[in-house]
Chains A and B, each alone.
Chain A
Amino acid sequence: MKELKILGVIIFFTLVTYWGVEPLAHSIFHPHVEPADFEFSDLPPVQGKGEVATGKELVVANCTGCHSIKSQGYPAPLDNASANASYGVVPPDLSTAGKIYNENFLANFIKNPAHATKTEHKFVGGKVHPMPSFNWMSDNDIASIIAYLKFIAPKEMTNREVFVDACGRCHNMKYAKIKATSDVSNYMGSTPPDLSMMIRSRGEHYLTTFINDPQKHLHGTAMPRVGLTQEAEEQVIAFLEEIGDSKKEEREALAPYVLGFLVFMAIISLLWKKEVWSEVE
């Protein structure tokens, strides 16, 4: 009984200290932010009537001058190095855009890229977003472009494919042997970090809101909001985990055996203790 009281005192002091240096400190370092908004409800809805065939014509006329759509046989007009030098970033291939990006985000992005990505603060004093605004287009035309992009998008993508299309133009991921296609250090003001260990350094909880809207956690960051759908973001995070915490499954599979053995050992040692001490007490 007395020993349990002592244990209680120790647990109390340990828990108070733990509460102070972990949950309390973290709540101050990372103030609470609103949960991820996969509807991107701050952007006005674009309610046009879209047609795939019109969309195709518009894309060929307006987009393929800079963007490749390899799945449809439109090659990139420039190689990566030249594109990077001309635009500051390699324009993304559009084959999967209809799959991984939220459609309303995409519509708003086409109208005004800096606004949709929340990077207007980076394009002041004569600097302009490498993608021009198509705000002169009618909502119906934009809806047609989206309809076409969705029409050509693949139904299924692997986690890695989503990651490469969503993050791989700017970010390296050394442990997955993924090298950024662009060097955006000039236009962003800093080199985007390697993402190999992000799952351990930021954790799933932080990443969920951060990828959805980087400004929430890092106000003023150069990282654009990329407008991933919930499914695409979950695939990105799953990929970060596959690479940065590749032994998670092994860890969780081994744990019950080790803990089970130790509980067994505790029972055996309690019996031994009782037997030995019965002689002296």
Chain B
Amino acid sequence: MAKFEKANSVGEWLDQRLNIKMLNRVLMTEYWIPKDINFLWAMGMVLAFTFSMLLISGIFLLMYYKPDVNMAFDSVNYTIMQEVAYGWLFRHIHGVGASVVFLIIYIHMFTGIYYGSYKRGREMIWLSGMLLFVLFSAEAFSGYMLPWGQMSYWAAYVITNIFGGIPFIGDELVVWIRGNFYVADSTLTRFFMLHVLLIPLAILGAIGLHFYSLRIPHVNNQKGEEIDFEEESGKYLAGRKKQSKVIPFWPVFIAKDVFVLSIFLVFFFYLVFYHYDFAMDPVNFDPANGLKTPPHIYPEWYFLWSYEVLRGFFFDIGPMKASDIGLAAFGFAQIIFALLPWLDRSPTVAPANQRPYFRCWFWTMMVVLVILTIFGKLPPTGTNAWVGFFSSITFILLFLILPVVTKAEAKKVASNKEGE
């Protein structure tokens, strides 16, 4: 057993037992971040904060919510929204937060793609991030079911039905997921469990993994420059702060984060108070009715691009049924982003705009995703169906040609260098 001397302060007492000074250095004052960054590097903290708001508001909602098909709707719309003190505020924060967190996730994700932050040792950061994206999607979907409104019910119906397309086990799988032959009380209760226990636990674990995966390859910077962190942090600690290419997490990095976070929060709470309908769909304020199909069924905006890939293939091709092709394309869309580090064959780590071919690829992808998102909500009839079809095809082709494009780019870059 270690020998303990009498401590002269609470800090010292804690340090003897928990080594907090060392912990503070490792996590805060000597955790190094590149200096050459812009506000997009604050999105991680913005996400962490938004997740905390979701967690806290969720805990308050959980105290009054009733996961039962006969009580769920009223427990949300009457008890929480009208009877509980500031229950409406917690629900609005939770509902708007669930939508806005995806906006930030997408910004965070496309920042990573734009700056090539998934390569050169950063593959695990990317993979753990994509795992978080999948978990957040599952969390959002399960949570959307809980108010038991019309869109809760019908989205649950449509999305669980998708699994029916899986060969051989599809039909049994749908029943297994729903716990019944149709979307019923059993479905609500199990998605409630997933939403408040299993998925949040997995998210907390994945956030830990995501943060940890940053430690060895370090955070990327605006130019994709390889930084010698040992040397640069040495400069910083020696007092040459202006020459050093790195900054400590605390207080320098966090000072910028807090500023960006404050601006974000102004925007966020403006939405919470004045502009919440985009996140809390009015249709879902009609109670669930399994006998009355709404005229338009669509998922929340953040799922629309992949939903459009699912329904973009609207006609049979040869022996293949439209729905099977759509399902395969949907499956492709779900996993393909995760494989990006291996599809990008160029070793260059640089902002997309400094990469001759990847630049076109990136901005085309952005436009295609916006088109897919918009047409994912519109009725899939007439021209809309064809726009959906061609943009789904373009989406898939973009990923199929990415290895070729990036290989050609690598060659071009190499020959340019030789020419210099």
Contact = CB atoms under 8 A, between A and B. Distances in A.
Do A and B pair up? The answer is yes
Interface of A: 2-3, 6-7, 10, 13-14, 16-18, 20-22, 24-25, 28-29, 174-175, 193-194, 196-197, 200-203, 244, 246-247, 250-252, 254-255, 258-259, 262-263, 265-266, 269-270, 272-273, 275-277, 279-281
B38 interface: yes
B62 interface: no
A227 to B, nearest CB: 26
B263 A266 contact: yes
A251 B266 contact: no
Given A20-B374, A251-B273, A270-B262, 19 more contacts: A17-B301, A20-B373, A22-B278, A24-B378, A25-B378, A29-B295, A174-B78, A194-B287, A196-B78, A197-B286, A246-B82, A251-B88, A251-B92, A254-B89, A254-B273, A258-B269, A258-B273, A262-B262, A272-B259
Chain A facing B: main interface SS: helix
Q: By CB atoms of chain B within 10 A, which of A2, A203, A244, A273 has the most? A: A273
Contacts of A24: 374, 378
Contacts of B286: 193, 197, 201
Chain B facing A: main interface SS: helix
Interface of B: 35, 38-40, 74, 77-78, 81-82, 88-89, 92, 103, 107, 241-242, 244, 247, 251-252, 255-256, 258-259, 261-263, 265-266, 269-270, 273-274, 277-278, 282-287, 295-296, 301, 304, 366, 370, 373-374, 377-379
Nearest to B246: A280
14 contacts: A7-B39, A14-B103, A20-B373, A21-B304, A21-B374, A22-B278, A175-B82, A244-B285, A250-B88, A251-B88, A251-B89, A269-B261, A273-B255, A273-B256
B373 A17 contact: yes
A266 B370 contact: no
B39 A6 contact: yes
Contact of A259 (B269, B277, B282, B304): B269
Contact of A269 (B255, B270, B304): B255
A112 B101 CA distance: 56
A20 B39 contact: no
A45 B14 CA distance: 88
Nearest to A190: B292
